[in-house]
Structure 1
Amino acid sequence: MCSYCGCRDISLIGRFMTEHEEIVNVAGVLHRAVEGHGPDSVAEALGHTLAHLHPHTTAEERGLFAVLRRNPDFTEHIDGLCAEHARLDDLAERIRGGDTALVNTFYDELRDHIDKEDNGLFPAAAIEMDGPDWVEAIQLTPDEGPHTHDEPHDDTH
């Protein structure tokens, strides 16, 4: 995770980077569940991963990404990151459908995606955005953390 530019000190970026760490941790359980554990373990770990991932990607897209997308210099990059969110959802659905061979692909693509945000987008946003942009991004960002297994949640964007 990025620690060299100070962008983590911006509250919204700090939140997203902390959530990235949590997502990687729970996705690690999924990554390990496919190695010698049954399909029930994989399904449970996938559910737990998505309970962390979906509120996070929704918050990014509705807040920070919505504000950055208006800048033509960022539009294509934001669209690519949103496409990666959709790709991760597609992989997750295929895993949920029984294709557990995709767990490693899901895990690797998730880690790569997070790296693009932490070490590319977030530092660039810290430089590009000004006070009113941050206020708007924060106002647009849902303040919803991960869902527990006992809470109903929507596994779609």
Structure 2
Amino acid sequence: MCSYCGCENIALIGRFMAEHVEIVNALTALRAACHDADAAAVGAAVDAMEALLHPHTGAEEVGLFAQLRLQDEFADTIDSLCAEHVTLDAQLMAIRGGKHTAYEQFEHDLRRHIDHEDNGLFPAAAIAMSGPDWEEALARTPGRGLDGRWDAS
């Protein structure tokens, strides 16, 4: 997590960074299940990871990423990050399907992806976006309600 520029104080970035911590923490159960080759535990750990990862990546893509895509200089970066989301999903499905040796690559790619966002895109967005840009990104971003459940909007 970036801690040098203060971008985590922007509500949407702070939320995404906090979700990154939750996602990384979920790796522990997935790593153990893959190491033990316990199919039931792998399934449960993949379910838990998906429950964190899918709403997170979807929210990034329809909110912050869509807003940044309006600025030409971010288009290639956003395309790359969205492609990484697809790759991570495919790796997770391979793990669910029994390819437990894919775990190490999944963890490596996930951590690298999070680093790109936390230490690259998010600080750049903090500089490039203005108040109305943040309001628009936030308005389009689904999130958690007071009950902790994801809003489908």
TM-score, normalised relative to structure 1: 0.89
Which amino acid is 1:19 matched to?
E
Measured in 1, the distance between the counterparts of 2:43 and 2:137 equals 34
SS in 1 for 2:4: coil
Q: Does 1:9 find its partner at 2:34?
A: no
SS in 1 for 2:77: helix
Q: Which has the higher mean CA deviation after the structures are superposed, 34-43 or 63-72?
A: 34-43
Which amino acid is 2:118 matched to?
D
Q: Which has the higher contact order (CA 8 A, sep 6+)?
A: 1
Using the TM superposition, give the Cα deviation of residue 37 of structure 1 relative to its aligned residue in structure 2, in angstroms: 4.6
Structure 1 unpaired stretches of 5+: 152-157
Percent identity between matched residues is: 54
Measured in 2, the distance between the counterparts of 1:144 and 1:71 equals 28
Equivalent pair of 2:35/2:100 in contact (CA under 8 Å): no
SS in 2 for 1:116: helix
1:51-82 per-position Cα deviation (integer Å, ceiling 9, x unaligned): 00000000000000000011110000000000
Q: How large is the RMSD of aligned CA atoms in angstroms? A: 1.5
Equivalent pair of 2:59/2:142 in contact (CA under 8 Å): yes
Q: Equivalences for 1:56-67 in 2 at 5 Å?
A: 56-67=56-67
> Corresponding residue for 1:87?
87
Equivalent pair of 2:68/2:75 in contact (CA under 8 Å): yes
Equivalent pair of 2:61/2:82 in contact (CA under 8 Å): yes
Q: Does 1:139 find its partner at 2:139?
A: yes
1:1-51 per-position Cα deviation (integer Å, ceiling 9, x unaligned): 110000000000000000000000012221222112511111111110110
> Corresponding residue for 2:124?
124
Q: Which has the higher mean CA deviation after the structures are superposed, 47-56 or 99-108?
A: 99-108
> Corresponding residue for 1:30?
30
Q: Give aligned pairs, total.
A: 147
Structure 2 unpaired stretches of 5+: none
Using the TM superposition, give the Cα deviation of residue 104 of structure 1 relative to its aligned residue in structure 2, in angstroms: 1.2
Measured in 1, the distance between the counterparts of 2:107 and 2:101 equals 11
Which amino acid is 1:136 matched to?
E
Equivalent pair of 1:16/1:56 in contact (CA under 8 Å): yes
Q: Equivalences for 1:87-126 in 2 at 5 Å?
A: 87-126=87-126
Equivalent pair of 1:33/1:45 in contact (CA under 8 Å): yes
